[in-house]
Amino acid sequence: MQRDINSAIDLQKLNFMIDQAEKKIIPIRNKITCFLGLTGAGKSTLMCFLLKLKPIVEIDDYGQIYIDFIQEEDHKIEIGHSSASCTELPNFRIINGEYYWDCPGLFDNKSIAQEILNLYCIKKIFESPSCFKIVIVVEYQNASVARGRDLANTLRQIVEMFPDQNNLFNCLSIIVTKCDKRNMTSEKFVRILDNLSRENNEFESAIPLLQMLSRAPQKIVIFMTPENAEDLNEELRNKIHACICTASFTKMPILNSLSDRAKLVIDNLLTLYENDIKSEMTKFSKKIFIKFRSETDMNALHQGKAALDDFLSIDPQRFTIQEFESGIINLSNYFTGSEALSDGFRSLTNKINFYNSYRSARSPPINLLSWINPIRYVLE
Ligand SMILES: Nc1nc2c(ncn2[C@@H]2O[C@H](COP(=O)(O)OP(=O)(O)OP(=O)(O)O)[C@@H](O)[C@H]2O)c(=O)[nH]1
Ligand SMILES: [Mg+2]
């Protein structure tokens, strides 16, 4: 099975996307507000709407209403008009001085690569801010069809990520999109939630949250399907902002989980990173060798040799990825002074560190000693 999954996944492309995510997700220390929800729920549409971009409302060939926005080509938030996932990397924007992240569709298990990428993005987005708010975006249909199965799925997975349901309740608001029931209100929607939680045991893990929500219609706003662009007006925008304002910024731990299939791919991703480290180390060793041969200043030579001995004297049993990283940065300051080289190593060790805790139970542990060997050979 492992071969099947891996052959279907382009590891290089996944690696490229993770690098893109690393560049795109700037750590925000302040408060952030984050849109979470299934693919196609309308998170990117909501972001564009709150950004006051000029909307276009049209009817597609199947008679479905869709919303788009006039945007600059090179600074675009992609909106999906098919059932396939659209946002691959999160979008960051500042709205009224506040920091917002529009995340890729949660729980997008159609693609293992997207699942692995999402894990990285979500963790990076949530780990740096001082506190955050969560805006859950759900389609009205998810609550009204199949006894709310998709809504149950969304809530179950959000509760798994944020198991402290009291804190979760405090920091969240819910935006119900694509609602064509003109008389729908948040009070009615809360009653729908209440009934669903009684009728469908798929909501079981989120019952404490649902009970709190049943007394808090102010935390829910209905984003009616527009009939024309005029329906996407200031009044709706204000209602959405007011709803998001009912949530309080909170800091709580986030737990991520991965499917077993994704873990098998992680094993291979780690092997790819380890191979990259080894080949970078081989190149670095050559540079050290050349420097030794060409150095005429005996004092500098001794200092360099002492730094190398220091690096290689770390107890191999207790050598950690962090020690490797700081050792390499120290050495590269001595021998190359190249920041690009340090950054390259740092990026690889960050990714290895991150994914190391998500590998499958059966995969062999990373072999730090094999990373250092090329440098050892320089001294021999
Ligand atoms: N928000 C919202 N979107 C609507 C509504 N009616 C139709 N849509 C359409 O629903 C689709 C939502 O797509 P996106 O905003 O890209 O959804 P998303 O949640 O960002 O999806 P991913 O990026 O895949 O996670 C778009 O085609 C919208 O035009 C509505 O009432 N509200
Ligand atoms: Mg999107």
Give the whole-number percent of the chain exceeding pLDDT 90: 57
Domain with CATH 3.40.50 in the chain: 2-245
Among 52-56, 113-117, 168-172, the least confident range: 113-117
Identify the three-state secondary structure at position 297. coil
DSSP state of 224: E
Q: Taking the model in full, what pTM does it have? A: 0.87
- Residues 166, 161: Cα–Cα separation, whole Å: 13
Residue 225 near ligand 1, beta carbon < 6 Å: yes
Q: Shortest CA distance to 234 belongs to which of 49, 89, 103?
A: 49
DSSP 237-286: HHHHHHHHHTS--B---------HHHHHHHHHHHHHHHHHHHHHHHHHHH
Closest protein CA for atom 21 of ligand 1? 40
Best residue for ligand 1 mutational test, from 36, 45, 138, 139 (most atoms within 8 Å of Cβ): 45
Query: How many angstroms is it from 354 CA to the middle of ligand 2?
Result: 24
**Phi, psi (degrees; rounded to nearest 5) at 92:** -110, 130
What does the pLDDT read at residue 1? 45
What does the pLDDT read at residue 259? 81
**Phi, psi (degrees; rounded to nearest 5) at 4:** -60, -45
Task: List pLDDT tens digits, range 129-183.
Answer: 999 999 999 999 999 898 999 999 899 989 999 999 999 999 999 999 999 999 9
**Distance of alpha carbon 177 from its chain centroid, rounded?**
22
Q: Given the CA of residue 78, which atom of ligand 1 is nearest to it?
A: 16
> pLDDT-derived band of residue 357, with 50, 70 and 90 as boundaries?
confident
Which CATH architecture fits 2-245?
Answer: 3-Layer(aba) Sandwich (3.40)
Dihedral of CA 110/114/115/121: which sign? negative
